[in-house]
Structure 1
Amino acid sequence: MNDLSHGGADVGNDAGVVDARLESSLEAALRLAAIVESSDDAIISKLLDGTITSWNGAAERLFGYRPEEIIGHSVLTLIPDDRRSEETDIIERLRRGERVEHFETKRLHKSGRQIDISLTISPIRRSDGSIVGASKIARDITQKKQADALLERQTERLEALNRVSRIISQDLDLERIVQAVTDEATALSGAQFGAFFYNVLDADGESYVLYALSGAPRDAFDRFGMPRNTAIFAPTFLGEGIVRSADIRQDPRYGLNTPHKGMPTGHLPVVSYLAVPVVSSSGAVIGGLFFGHAEPDRFAPETESLIAAIASQSAVAIDNARLHSAAQAEIANRKAAEDARELLLHEVKHRVKNTLATIQALASQTLKTTPPSEKDAFISRLHALSGAHDLLTLSDWQEIDIAALVQRSLAAFSIKGTPRVSVEGPEVRLSANKALLLTMVLHELGTNAVKYGALSAEHGRVSIAWRLAETERPTLRLEWRESGGPPVTTPTHRGFGSRMIAAALHGSDGHVAFDYRSEGLLLTLDLVV
């Protein structure tokens, strides 16, 4: 009895151990199943012949198939035709017992849409070590790919703008600048042909239109004459805004004007259409950049933004070329052998002297009956004023509002539709030399921000604010504040840019302070106005 009883206890204990192991295995299996089902990554298993054997909830969300729709079908259902060779390579590696780590590729959604994914694939083995299938973990990397593509496009855009800037900044000849801008913009836009129609003033001040052409022979335009200010062209020639059309023939403004009611016979075929006004810093419309393609929908919003930035740069270059041309003409009229730069620097002095001479002549006529001592005292004051103006070496007396100056100086560093730079401050008008100085400072800061600071990051921002400080002299106090960029550390030595800014402001009785905060550069600038 005792032996039988004891033996029965042993059998009972063994059965209990087996039950515990089974329960533990079941719990482990249930935990694993719960983990797989709750995972944010798609987890799929398949046989070596490609038949799908399991499918979790994340796989359904990623690919659109319910388990009953896809389990039992080939994994080739998810693979684009041009990528099916990948599956052959994967199977070969699995048979060798290899694990595939973070393989980036594309797979198909149920709708037919392609998805960017990262795959990790591991072999599934039997207890004897033989490989019977594989488990795949798929992660959606669409947003990462989009971010990478955006960064690449922004980099290409900046490189293109820098290249155009270098090309046009090295020349002061109007026709060469216009042709270079037209060629570069046509290539960057992907247009079949492009044209730049621009206004020119002759020696008598009469305006006429010239044009540069890229991608087509000149006789393709010559026989049709210059574009008229029709409903399609008016927004460009009036500077009202950009016109971008996937199919210009569908635009309600198209084909309204006689005699052609659309494109003349023999005209270059235009379906996709993009036109961008080129506007001077004074607000005058210089002309317009026009691009065409025979196929529809060839110009994306990013193309529009890029060409708008090129138009802004070309406006500055054309303004400079026109100023240079005007200066050259004035030099020829005054003194052919005199250095152009010297004449421009002293132009204001000559103008002021002429004005004072006129005032002196008027005063002499008006003060005929005034005692000689009083008249001489007045004339002496005029001469003293003339001497004071001899110290000025400006080329122009025109003033410019700081808001327009800031926006113009930083136009090349923005993306249409994306507010990267904000400005805030009251109306303050700057003299020509102060405006030039501030333009140099802003351009240096903008370039540095694009290369190393806030504008080098997708979410980086720059805030510019100014006010008139209450000091002994009217002083503009401007703050340049960066945020959202890479972490900032105090440099071990001062670079050329910071030295240039400090030296330029010091020479103009100004002051600058650099605060290299970790969240972004804060620059404070004081400039006596």
Structure 2
Amino acid sequence: MNEELQGDQKLNKLRLAELAEKQAQLAAIVNSSDDIIVSKTLEGIITSWNPTAERVFGYQEREAVGRHISIIIPPDRLAEEDYIISQIRNGKKIDHFETVRIGKDGKTVQLSITVSPVIDESGKIIGASKIARDISAQVTSQNAARKYTERLEIMNMVMSSISEELDLNKILQKVTDATTNLTGARFGAFFYNKIDEEGESYMLYTLSGAPRDAFDKFGMPRNTAVFHPTFSGERVVRVDDITKDPRYGQNSPHFGMPKGHLPVVSYLAVPVISRSGKVIGGLFFGHPDHGRFTEEHEILVTSIAAQAAISLDNAKLLEEVMALNDKKDEFIGLASHELKTPLASINGYLQILGRRIAGTEHQLFLDKALHQVSRLTTLVNDLLDISKIEAGKLKLRIDAFDLKKIIEEAIELIQQSVSAHTITFKSNVEQCLVNGDAQRVEQVVINLLSNAIKYSPLANRVEVELRREAEKVVVSVKDFGPGIPKDKLKSIFTRFYRVDEAAPNISGLGIGLYLANEIIIRHSGEIWSESEVGKGSTFYFTIPVNIT
């Protein structure tokens, strides 16, 4: 009996020793773990607190054990503890629950926690064991990636919007509106870097978030210490409270913001600099509260300003091109008008001279001179038409006329002056009445016929067709010349455009098809060309049957 008792005692001691060893091993694992390991009762009282918990939260074990777990829970997250305990009481485990806890110093810690029930020998749930991993670095990285993605999306959205514009005012307004909204500014403005005679004044171009008269009564900002870094392009200025900045309030007569000025405490100013390095102007943002603009806002606006500067450069370039184009059109119109009178006189003198030398050996030279004057007169008239189109003064005399007869007369006129080409004509109607300007439509037909002959010098025929359809008539002029490359077809109706490789030795200014296009468009019709290199080109135009 004593032997059995002694044997049981030895066995118990052995088990106790094994249990003590396991507990020691478990304690060593808990104490050396890089994870936070905490246990608590179902009432939330902390019962264990490992060294990592001490390091992360700042509470020593003696400070934490015996206190409620709420010492590390932010007030706005206390409901999470109620949820966790309710799950534990029901024997459920919480896996990888991402949350925020707070340390002794008040700093927040991003955690991923796993909470498991603690069960005694009888199977009763007596508490909870919590393992938490600090994921602050991971969350920071994710937030940085998210912000970067959001920034790119915003940049793409804004730049997609302004890239469609070539109007300076619209670009500036879109940029000002977008950046004011993105920064959360109470108002934003773009001041164009236009210096007056005294070198101090800047012009308000666009405003967002405030009425324009909020600035009109105060005049434009001047070259003060606050504005200088922006208008000189030196750097971005971001201040949590501009009224406390040493550069603020140093200039008369206001020594600060004028009375009645929009309240500005938070201040952000970003220079907008062109690709050439010239400071176009500055974006300015204000808010009546302290510290509203962040580094993120600064980076975002700076990026948008850099991209916007490219669009502004393009818009400025377009304005300059349009101004030069207007001057060119004005010159063309004036020159064409002035040339008509001397050309008419030259033509008249040549005709008088022709009557005196008719039948002589000099007749041939006179005929050539008259032909060249006729070509020059046509060219001058075309240039004059262009100036009328650009000025919106090309008027059409709309009357009913027989399009078939107009085409036949144009063919007869051209055929008389050429012998190398035969012009054939076919039509599916005996008569083709349309409403329009007969003289201008004839001008189109003559231009297409002349081009068909001029650009097919090695061919011997031109085919013309008139076809009446339900709501329109279709006219086609086909030549058998070298053809036009497909990539050039879309440009041939552009003013002054020439396909030089098609006929490098043929003179011309590239205005005939432009005029034809404008005339047909004004008749509510269409004009286009189909071509195959080596097989010739066919030009088509349509006119509605009932033009009013």
TM-score band by shorter chain is: 0.5 to 0.7
2:312 is the alignment partner of 1:318: yes
Among candidates 276, 281, 292, match of residue 287 of structure 1? 281
CA distance in 1, matches of 2:202, 2:112: 59
Uncovered stretches (5+) of structure 1, i.e. residues with no partner: 1-6, 339-529
- Compare CA radii of gyration and give the structure with the larger one: 2
Following TM superposition, by how much is the alpha carbon of 1:90 offset from its aligned partner in structure 2, in angstroms? 1.3
Q: State the match for 2:345 in structure 1.
A: none
Report the counterpart of residue 299 of structure 2 in structure 1: 305
The 5 Å alignment of 1:197-212 reads: 197-199=191-193, 209-212=203-206
Identity %: 53
Q: Does 1:128 align with 2:122?
A: yes
Indicate which of 255, 263, 269 corresponds to 1:275: 269
Deviation at 1:113, TM superposition (A): 2.3
Moved over 3 A (4+): 7-15, 199-202
Matching residue of 2:181:
187
- Partner of residue 79, structure 2: 85
User: Letter of the aligned partner of 2:78 in structure 1?
Assistant: R
Following superposition, the deviation at residue 85 of structure 1 comes to: 1.4
Q: Is the contact made by 1:105 and 1:118 (CA closer than 8 Å) also made in structure 2?
A: yes
Match of 2:68 among 63, 74, 77: 74
- How many Å apart are 1:209 and its aligned residue? 2.7
| CA displacement 1:196-218 (0-9 Å, x = unmatched) | 0114699xxxx973420000011
Q: Map of 1:362-441 to 2, 5 A cutoff?
A: none
Query: Aligned partners of 1:17 and 1:32: how far apart in 2?
Result: 22
Partners of 2:330 and 2:184 lie apart in 1 by 45
Tell me which amino acid in the other structure corresponds to 1:300: T
C-alpha change, 1:336 and 1:117, in structure 2 (3 Å) is: farther
Q: Distance in 1 between matches of 2:76 and 2:250?
A: 47
Is 1:44 the equivalent of 2:38?
Answer: yes
The answer to whether residue 322 in structure 2 is matched with residue 328 in structure 1 is yes
Partner residue of 1:105? 99
Instruction: Tell me how far 1:23 sits from its aligned partner.
Output: 1.2
Deviation of the 1:17 alpha carbon: 2.5
Over 3 Å counting, the alpha-carbon distance change for 1:315 and 1:149 in structure 2 is: same
Task: State the match for 1:375 in structure 2.
Answer: none
Q: Partner amino acid for 1:167?
A: S
Candidates 18, 23, 41, aligned match of 1:29? 23
Letter in 1 for 2:94: V
How far apart, in 2, do the equivalents of 1:158 and 1:337 lie? 47
Query: Root-mean-square deviation (CA), in Å?
Result: 1.9
Residues 10 and 279 from structure 1, CA distance in 2 versus in 1: closer, same or farther, beyond 3 angstroms? same
Matched, 1:219 2:213: yes
1:257 is the counterpart of 2:251: yes
Aligned partner of residue 335 in structure 1, secondary structure: helix
CA distance in 1, matches of 2:21, 2:206: 78
Report the Cα offset of residue 99 of structure 1.
0.6
List alignment gaps of at least 5 residues for structure 2: 333-548
How far apart are the structure 2 equivalents of 1:97 and 1:39? Answer: 25
Match of 2:88 in 1: 94
The alpha-carbon distance between structure 1 residues 78 and 201, as it changes in their structure 2 partners (threshold 3 A), is closer
**C-alpha displacement of 1:151:** 1.0
Shift of 1:15: 3.2
| Structure 2 CA distance for aligned equivalents of residues 102 and 337 of structure 1 | 78
Shift of 1:306: 0.9
**Distance apart, 1:8 and its partner CA:** 5.6
Once residues 216 and 276 of structure 1 are traced to their aligned partners in structure 2, the CA distance between those partners, rounded to angstroms, is: 19
Matched, 1:166 2:160: yes
SS at match of 1:261: coil
Alpha-carbon contact 1:200-1:210 (below 8 Å) kept: no
